[in-house]
Structure 1
Amino acid sequence: MSQGHVVIIGAGHAGGTAAALLRQYGHEGPITLVGEEPIAPYQRPPLSKAWLKGEADADSLALKPLEFYAEANIGFRPNVRATKISRSARTVALSDGSELSYDKLILATGARAIALPIPGADLKGVMALRTAADAEALKAAVGPGRKLAVVGGGYIGLEVAASGRALGAEVVVLEREDRILARVACKVLSDFFQGYHEQHGVRFELGCSVTGFEGKDGHVTGVTLADGRTIPCDAAVVGVGAAPNDEIASDCGLETARGVVVDLDARTSDPDVFAIGDVAHRPMPIYDRMFRMESVPNALEQAKQAASAIVGKPRPAGECPWQWSDQYDLKLQIAGYAFDVDEVLVRGEPASGKFAVFHLKGDQIQSVEAINAPPEFMMGRQLILNRKPVDKAKLVDPAVSMKEVVA
């Protein structure tokens, strides 16, 4: 039976899940969960949606009730961060001056929003959206008659834009590329989402470079663009990507490569140290490559991998990566990644608000983006995982059920 002290650095979705799974899988030794935030592990995806709209709070989003950690004999250390790992001494130094000894260590340090190195970025009202505190500050800043500028037309930016409109704010999205979602989705999806947002009153500035933020009395009043214009705003959300918090791993000599390098057990280059969630650079057997994923399903999968390895359970079966985005009454579900794609096929009519985009390599599906189309998402996910060839004529014909396509 697994008995040693497991220290988990990072109390987000991955770290909180790993702590609970260790107990569920039979680990009887001490567990200490270290988190920088003042609250227990919680769901982060609703921050840009339900939290902003006042439909959720810390209690409703908590992964487990606070009393769970005491009842499960999990030591929870909020408001503190790890500052140094000594692998030779098997210790973790914390920001409050204390030190923890470990037998096994799990790094669940996540990722941080990339800040823009431009004038005015430190003004009040210029914010990112990664934590509950960020979401609370943004909720207080937007509302009827307020102007919200969103820098970055990725999924987080679009979710914030949709929530901003639901709260009655005027919203403009500023995107450097010539289309939104340029780095993460195909043009069909970009065009669809832009049109849908415009129907809901969101304005877009594409192909524009943000050069700074203007302010008055220390608070943001506008976003300056390279063409000399200033876009007025009462608040600005910067959503231009995230960087892994892998410095503490690199500093103690663990292998890193745009994240902490791990194997299929979530084990790092040190057999007693694991890394999970947004910080992990992990194998993707489906695509025969390494990749760093930022999604809740990945956090859960890797928490299972690490917990299983620590207690000696068999490795869990591999999964097809997936993620989702909710905007207005649209649910986008994405399975897989569009690596090495040579053909894109659309099933259904985008104008109907219910369709799916399939990305293929030869006759194999690499990825599917499904809008309000659960069967296409679920069956597509199955096809991606099983690497099963498909009949393209059946795939694009909505009259043929997805069960027939899979068969």
Structure 2
Amino acid sequence: MRRIVIIGGGQAASALIAKLVAEKSDDRITLVCAEPRLPYQRPPLSKAYLLGEMTEGRLYFRPAAWYDEHGVDVRLNSRADSIDKAAKTVTLDGGEVLAYDDLVLTTGAHPRTLPASIGGTLSNVFAVRDLDDADAMEPAFVAGARALIVGGGYIGLEAAAVAAKRGVSVTLVEAADRILQRVAAPETSDFFRDLHRRHGVDIREGVGLSALTGDEVVTGATLSDGTTLDIDFAIAGVGIAPATALAEGAGLVIDNGIATDAQGRTSDPHIWAAGDCASAPYGDGRVRIESVGNAIDQAEIVAHNLLGRPVTYTPKPWFWSDQYDVKLQIAGLNTGYTDLHVRDVDGARSHWYYRGETLLAIDSLSDTRAYMVGKRLIEAGKSPAPSVVTDADTDLKALLRA
């Protein structure tokens, strides 16, 4: 039997194994997970799990018995130290050497952390990436506690929403001119700024963190404008970086992540990559998409190609974020947009991004119908006139038939 070794135990790894099993692959599959847990969902960690609305058991994609039933050799608490491309082997941190015929890297990404030089290693300074992170910070989320959240992207805003709902006094600082500046239009930033302020979150834009202070445990913060704050804990929501060290050590091509072709193959013909760690061809360049949907799609493409059924990957970006009672759903990529058009019908709001006459992306703010229609229009390459999209009398579903 062919030996397939998968490094990394997240969404992409789970989707890849599920597809291979569903397609009745007779390959011998080994999954190497650095964590001591089977693959589990990560998005709920900063939302439902921290709120106590989802138990740990519900996070797992599949129980241990499922992997046993399908002959998947799962190595928990194991880390891959190096890859020998010529020998087609992976050496684990305990010294064991695994031989492979095909290797798939689903190593994901690491949270960016605050530098030690400004107090980032003090206790009660948290990141948000895995279950250990969520479990470590949960006890700090008590009514009356004071939190500083550094970073006004989706991670920081989701953490702020959970903290505020649990009665924590929250200050969020964003060094850029506005929250969500890297990923959304000013109109979307304005919506979420107002939403958070209505829930008592103190959002400060154009202000960074100079230092965290305290004797072992963080107790205060100094901001770039000279303001000092008394705090009980801090959260770094400053983004993630693709986990490429293993691939770099093996000499694979790195380009905003592990560079793959349209089939998920890296610069080595027997090594593949999928998920947050991988970048794929997109238009005239490359794109690395940090989302559940992308991890699943890329992993399933790799599975098909491993099974000898050539399929190419066409990125269809979609994302979501839950904050308070608002569900933000995003389809497409807004890079290079020139105009934004707002549809607001009886409080159901959506923001439509255009480059000239071409529809690029949509931000839906608790308007699932607009999101579903916008996503299908973008994937079909259809661009209705902005005046039609924003007209309250337009039946959006009819645009799909146009």
| Range into which the TM-score falls when normalised by the shorter chain | over 0.9
1:27 match? 25
Matches within 5 A, 1:34-53: 34-53=32-51
Whole-angstrom distance in 2 between the partners of 1:186 and 1:391 = 19
1:382 match? 376
Whole-angstrom distance in 2 between the partners of 1:209 and 1:362 = 35
Which deviates the most, 45-54 or 339-348? 339-348
Whole-angstrom distance in 1 between the partners of 2:85 and 2:358 = 43
Residue 128 of structure 1 pairs with residue 127 of structure 2? yes
Q: How many residues align?
A: 400
Shift of 1:354: 2.2
Matches within 5 A, 1:265-280: 265-280=263-278
Whole-angstrom distance in 2 between the partners of 1:231 and 1:288 = 46
AA in 2 matched with 1:162: A
Question: Gaps spanning 5+ residues in structure 2: where?
Answer: none
Whole-angstrom distance in 1 between the partners of 2:227 and 2:201 = 19
Shift of 1:133: 0.7
Matched residue SS, 1:326: strand
Whole-angstrom distance in 2 between the partners of 1:13 and 1:53 = 22
Matched residue SS, 1:277: coil
Shift of 1:44: 0.5
2:309 match? 313
Shift of 1:51: 0.8
2:142 match? 143
TM-score, normalised on structure 2? 0.97
Matched residue SS, 2:152: coil
AA in 1 matched with 2:186: K
Residue 78 of structure 1 pairs with residue 89 of structure 2? no
Shift of 1:66: 1.9
AA in 2 matched with 1:99: V
Instruction: Give deviations 1:189-242, integer Å, cap 9, x for gaps.
Output: 1011010111111111111121111113x1111222122222221111101111
1:168 match? 167
Shift of 1:299: 0.3
Residue 372 of structure 1 pairs with residue 371 of structure 2? no
Whole-angstrom distance in 2 between the partners of 1:61 and 1:6 = 25
For residue 322 of structure 2, the aligned residue among 320, 323, 326 is 326
Shift of 1:26: 2.1
Whole-angstrom distance in 2 between the partners of 1:309 and 1:401 = 40
Shift of 1:314: 4.3
1:398 match? 392
2:201 match? 202
Whole-angstrom distance in 2 between the partners of 1:209 and 1:66 = 44
AA in 2 matched with 1:295: S
What percent of counterpart residues are identical?
40
Question: Gaps spanning 5+ residues in structure 1: where?
Answer: none
Shift of 1:332: 0.5
CA RMSD of aligned residues (A): 1.4
For residue 112 of structure 1, the aligned residue among 110, 113, 131 is 110
Whole-angstrom distance in 1 between the partners of 2:94 and 2:53 = 35
Shift of 1:27: 1.5
Shift of 1:258: 1.7
AA in 2 matched with 1:199: R
Matches within 5 A, 1:251-290: 251-284=249-282, 287-290=283-286
Matches within 5 A, 1:173-188: 173-188=172-187
- Does the CA-based 8 Å contact 1:43-1:63 persist in structure 2? yes
AA in 2 matched with 1:386: A
Matched residue SS, 1:189: helix
Whole-angstrom distance in 2 between the partners of 1:41 and 1:283 = 27
- Does the CA-based 8 Å contact 2:112-2:239 persist in structure 1? yes
Instruction: Give deviations 1:350-382, integer Å, cap 9, x for gaps.
Output: xx6521111112222111000111121111111
TM-score, normalised on structure 1? 0.95
